[in-house]
Structure 1
Amino acid sequence: MKKTLLTAAIMSMAFSSTVFAHGVCDTTLHGYMENIKDEMRAMSSDVKAGDSESAVGHVEALISYFEKSRSEAPHKFSHDNLQGAELKAQTAEYQKVVDDTITILKELEGALKAGDSAKVRDLFGAIGEQRNLGHRSFKDC
């Protein structure tokens, strides 16, 4: 009986839509976003620990990943079968979100170098807003 339950659970997980959806979304952009998530966590830890120099290194890596991400198309564009003017408009909006995030990260880099903790805190909030905007608009996985 227990073997049957275990087998059923494994089969259920193997064929669940979330497992399939995640596989479909395993794109270059998804890889960059995973790297961005890791760098953000490391940067946040460094800021909390007072290690601004190390945090600046993470900011530089984040900028690099966002610059690479700019030329990628979110999976949602192909999933929603965007074409023509709609694809062009959504691509421009996506690139604007990425560009605005890069601008905020560059400001954060300056604030970290200057030791301006109040500005760092404000910029962390701005980065969170950008993340929410990007995920609401372009994430479907």
Structure 2
Amino acid sequence: MIETYSRNRIATGNNLPSRELILVTNKQKLETLEKTPPYMEWLKEASAAIVITGRPNVSKYWIQDGSISSSFMWLRATELEVGVGFGAVFNFEDENESAKREEWVRNSLNILNDRRILAILGVGFPENKPKTKKLPSKEEIIYYESFK
């Protein structure tokens, strides 16, 4: 999945390399990351994790760039029938909570202080299929020519 990601150039804001990825497969590190507040218990069962970091000093679009990367990896995992869990680390609404979460991940993986930690994707092959979620219909979320 990461190989596919790296072969295919993923667009970034202003074409700047503002996001970086850390692939974690070590079981002990996965168990440490599982304790990232507010606790990502599903990570201890994952085969791997992909930590998405951003570099605000490189681009003001680091959040968008990391989010786009996350989406592409999620889509590729789905194509490969790999299970994916999303763990938000960066918290836009609560700076203190975000600092606590990011510091846990930063210390766990020796991430440089100029990087922000956006999220963690847990990947693997789940024992059971997740429950189907009722998604809104396209008529509820897609508008044509104007909002209403």
**TM bucket, shorter chain:** 0.3 to 0.5
Which structure has the larger Rg over C-alpha atoms? 1
Return the TM-score normalized by structure 2: 0.33
| Bigger strand fraction | 2
Return the TM-score normalized by structure 1: 0.34
